[in-house]
Each structure stands twice: as C-alpha cells, then as structure tokens.
Amino acid sequence: MPKKVLIVEDDKKIALALGVRLKASGYDVLQAFDGLQGFMQATKHRPDVVVLDLSMPAGGGLSVAERMRDMVNLATVPIIFMTASKNPELFQAAKKYGALGYLEKPFDAEALLALVRQATGEAPPPAAAAPTAGPTGTPPR
C-alpha cells in the first residue's frame, strides 16, 4: 500500500506540482489549500508525512503543527515545513514542533523527495540530524 503524503499549501500551482512529483514517485497524495483544511485532512486520513507551508490563510503551518502535536493519533506524524520566508525565527519555531525538514522556496524537488523518503522509512536519515533548508540543505541564517 502506498504511503500517504499530505501537502498543505495555499498556492495551488505549487501544490499541484508537488502532488504530481510525489504521485510519480509512488505516493498517495492528499492536498489541502489552507491550515484548517490541512488539519481536517490530517485528522481524517492520518497521513504518513505532512508537507506543510508556514504562511497560509485559515491557520498557518505552525498553528497546524501545534494542533497536530496535541492530538494523540497525529503527534508522531513527521512534518516537513516549507516557506518563502528567510526569517530565522521561523526555522527555530519549526524545530520546536519537531520538524523533520525545513525547505526554503524555491527548493529542489529531489530535496523534498529525499525528506519524504526519510520520513516514510524508505531512506536512511542523513548524517546531520538537524532539519534542512533550501536546495543546499543548510539552515537559514
């Protein structure tokens, strides 16, 4: 059975592109276009990993992550955050919610795929245990 990936992204073009790439890699993809939809989809479907935009209407990514961590059945679901912001405080906040990864837009689809594979147990974790950002995998400054 394919692993479920929930993409929570308010930019429908980005969500569609990520969905196509993940489906082509064999994942079952769920999508939501704001924080409230994302939380509801996570609650209903209990995905194997969530790819979560930080800045969205109806609840940003951090509030969705906080609500997920408060729910017993969602508390351990890996979260990969993505953002267009260069604000280092967001990186620290994402770490607070146990971010598996942190990607700055634009990012390489292969970087996202590597994190999804890691989250679903299909690839070993990288040598560095810290969440990553951007195409180079370096945390924001």
Average pLDDT over residues 108-135: 75
Confidence check: pLDDT of 24 > 60: yes
> Would you say domain 4-119 falls under CATH 1.20.58.340?
no
Report which of residues 15 and 125 the model is more confident about.
15
Q: What is the model's pLDDT at position 129?
A: 43
pTM of this structure? 0.85
Radius of gyration of the chain (CA): 13
Residue type, position 34, single letter: D
What residue ranges do the domains of the chain occupy?
4-119
HSE-up of residue 57 (Cα within 13 Å, Cβ side)? 4
Query: Phi and psi at residue 84, in whole multiples of 5°?
Result: -95, -10
- 128 — pLDDT class (breaks 50, 70, 90): very low
Burial of 110 per CB tally in 10 Å (0-12, 13-18, 19+): exposed
Are 77 and 47 contacting, i.e. CB atoms less than 8 angstroms apart? yes
Residue bearing the bigger pLDDT, 127 or 3: 3
What average pLDDT does the segment 47-61 reach?
Answer: 90
Best mean pLDDT range from 7-16, 49-58, 118-127: 7-16
